[in-house]
Amino acid sequence: MATVMIVGATRGIGLELVRQYAEAGDSVIACARDLGASEQLDALASGNDRIRVESLDIGSPGSIEAAATSIGDQAIDTLIVCAGVVGGAAQSLDDVDLEAWHHTLDVNTIGPTLIARHFQGNLAASGNGHLMLVSSQLAASTWPMGGRIIYSTTKAALGKVGQILAIDWKDEPITVTILHPGWVQTDMGGPSGEITAEESASGIRSVIAGATKADSGKFYKWNGEIHPW
């Protein structure tokens, strides 16, 4: 069975990924920003020896480093960076909230990059590691709508990080993918989302199971289709 690490495991797609991987028999390292506030994750992990909960605030380089120290050098087969924030309501040219933009860059772009740095060795130790960065269709140049400057730019930069890692790690036994999880019924996606968290997580698991090193750097949709940039 595989070891799977999920960053952003308290709610939504990340929580559902923890549930599905553990149910499939995998060993899951579920990372939460605020351990005291993760009631749903606690309930899932309680009495389940396949789920280990770790503290990790992806917006804090010190927290990422502390999590890496706590997890040590164990092999990680799959690492999914699911944590993300929208960046608040003020995202138009006239009112964009600069402080929120900086924080969102920390969470959506810089944090995932530091995760890659700190867990590269764990993924390589797997011999067939997979790093998935959960982005959004709003990151693509093909997205036809304006607005959401903060969210779109920080996720677009995340996609570029994924492409760069795929190139820089071409000789490493690590596949890097970027993914749009669908418009999902979560706190972020709202109740009108087109798919459930169960459907999104199930699709994500299939994408990872089917991807090989030759797919490194690709931008997928949750249903396995390639997303045009």
- Rounded distance between C-alpha atoms, residue 158 and residue 166, angstroms: 12
Q: How far is the CB of 171 from ligand NAP (least distance, A)?
A: 29
Q: How far is the CB of 125 from ligand NAP (least distance, A)?
A: 24
Decide: helix, strand or coil at residue 185.
coil
Instruction: By CB under 6 A, tell whether 133 contacts ligand NAP.
Output: no
* 149 token code pair: 């400057």
Binding mask 200-229 for ligand NAP (x = CB under 6 A): ------------------------------
Instruction: By CB under 6 A, tell whether 71 contacts ligand NAP.
Output: no
Q: What is the DSSP string of 168-203?
A: HTTTSSEEEEEEE--SBSSTTT-TT-SB-HHHHHHH
Task: Find the helix or strand (DSSP H, E) in which 16 lies.
Answer: helix 12-23
DSSP-derived letter for residue 135 is -
- The window from 22-30, 92-100, 176-184, 212-220 that contacts ligand NAP (CB under 6 A) reads 176-184
Site for ligand NAP in 18-57 (CB under 6 A): 33-34, 57
Instruction: By CB under 6 A, tell whether 10 contacts ligand NAP.
Output: yes
Nearer to ligand NAP, 11 or 205 (CB): 11
Instruction: By CB under 6 A, tell whether 157 contacts ligand NAP.
Output: no
Q: What is the Rg, in whole angstroms, of the alpha carbon atoms belonging to the chain?
A: 16
- The window from 5-13, 120-128, 202-210, 212-220 that contacts ligand NAP (CB under 6 A) reads 5-13
Q: Site for ligand NAP (CB under 6 A): which residue of 51, 71, 85, 208?
A: 85
Nearest Cα to Cα of residue 215 among 182, 181, 186, 177: 177
- Rounded distance between C-alpha atoms, residue 117 and residue 79, angstroms: 12
Instruction: By CB under 6 A, tell whether 159 contacts ligand NAP.
Output: no
Decide: helix, strand or coil at residue 133.
strand
* 98 token code pair: 């600069």
- Rounded distance between C-alpha atoms, residue 204 and residue 15, angstroms: 13
Binding site for ligand NAP (CB under 6 A): 8, 10-14, 33-34, 57-59, 82-85, 107, 134, 136, 180-181, 183-184, 186-189, 193
